[in-house]
Amino acid sequence: MQSINPATSEPIQHYDEHTLDAARDIAARARDVADEWRQLGLGERAALLLRLERVLLDHTSDWAYLMAREMGKPIREGRSEVEKCATLCRYYADRGPDFLRAGGVPTEATTSYVAFEPLGVVLAIMPWNFPFWQVFRAAVPALLAGNAVLLKHASNVCGCAAAAEQAFRQAQFPEGLFAALFLNSDGALHLIGDEHVAAVTLTGSTRAGREVAARAGQHLKKTVLELGGSDAYVVLGDADIEAASRSCVQSRLINTGQSCIAAKRFVVVRERLAEFEERVVALMRAARQGDPRMLATEIGPMARTDLRDELHAQVQKSVALGAAVRLGGEVPAGPGAWYPATVLGNVLPGMPAYDEELFGPVAAIIEARDEEHALEIANDSRFGLGAAVFTRDRDRGERIARDRLRAGSCFVNTHVRSDPRLPFGGVRESGYGRELGEFGIREFVNIKTVYVA
């Protein structure tokens, strides 16, 4: 496996791929370690999470630089990502034990209660776009619950996978409890059926989710799938356009637009369309693109040239079908996976910019006749990960977020983001199951009823 610098197209490092037999041996070892790990008290496990927090904070700069080199993440975003992982560790160290303690349920029995028992080994198949956060948000609650975790990371961020394993070792977690596997996609699918793997969590594309769910279903393995998204941000007639446009652009450009939870479709009522579009174009044009290792950089290269080319093909097809390029839309000359901040107007159904997920720095602006039409457009998607609504009437915004928008996370007057304290996940083709919060830590446990007559 070869990691390549997406800013220059230069190779960084080669990693030897595990054979399937080697991966099975690692899974067997993880199962043995998990059997010992689950015997530790919750307090002892939580204490190791606090050590892990310290390790992450001590290596923030190093690992932000690693992400900048391997997948082009602007370094200030990389620092925030590692720090967010540390916050996650602190949160679960403080609150996780309470989420996992047995709770009594009054019945006719002498004693009856619900206990939470770990499942065993969880295979985590993770993407390249948040190469630390996606890993830690899956692994930390699963480990605290008493499981072991095997990481199959994306092949272009093998260095980040190795660094994640190093972090757990430095925090003095038992050796083999968290292990990185350098496997291709076929190898990961075969490993799902291994007798030592109890469950699978995947963050990735809808296509990958179908493949993993089908293989796990054959073996009756529990799964959590966090898949693609085409988040709609609805801008109503009474919205603060300056604040709404800033929030929309901030969300659209997170990680150079390569985020499943980023704003993808801006749905704007007709009366505010012109001023919103003008402001978004100005903000996108002002965003600084450049070397991801520089603190001033807001837009880096995309993670791979093939992904950049796929995005450009979506833009070109949308334009051929009538979308208007308000900004950008051209591939720059030279090496690297660069793509400019791009704004498409006059986006309509049938265009990739309307129907598909645009995984890069491209904003699609869609006109709505009125509020009702805007909500119809927002929900006119096979995805359902996140959504937002902008209005000066907070009560109205809350009603829309709660009752009208069909997505796993619905925000009012700000951009959608994950938070360790809140459950995160989607509906429809954005997947199922939840990560984070109290609900996330209970995904990979046996919720066991104990009844004593």
Distance, in Å, from the CA atom of 388 to the CA atom of 374, rounded to the nearest integer, reads 12
Which tokens hold the place of 336? 């690297």
Which one of 70, 226, 367, 435 is the catalytic residue? 226
Contact 407, 78 (CB under 8 A): no
Q: What angle do CA 6, 11, 15 make, to 5 degrees?
A: 115
Residue burial 120-152, b: 16+ Cβ < 10 Å; e: rest: bbbbbbbbbbbbbbbbbbbbbbbbbbbbbbbbb
Which tokens hold the place of 347? 């986006």
Contact 338, 241 (CB under 8 A): no
3-state secondary structure of 396: helix
Measure CA 16 to chain center: 26
Contact 149, 124 (CB under 8 A): yes
Which tokens hold the place of 343? 């704004």
3-state secondary structure of 145: coil
Q: At what angle do helices 60-71 and 158-170 cross, to 10 degrees?
A: 160
Question: How many residues belong to the chain?
Answer: 453
Q: What is the DSSP letter of 158?
A: H
Distance, in Å, from the CA atom of 214 to the CA atom of 209, rounded to the nearest integer, reads 8
> 223 has which bridge partners?
200
Tokens 């179908």 -> residue:
210
175 is catalytic: no
Which one of 260, 277, 429, 443 is the catalytic residue? 260
DSSP codes, 320-369:
HTT-EEEE---PPSSSS-----EEEES--TTSHHHHS---SSEEEEEEES
* Nearest Cα residue to 122 out of 100, 99, 141: 141
248 is catalytic: no
Q: So which residues are the catalytic ones?
A: 226, 260
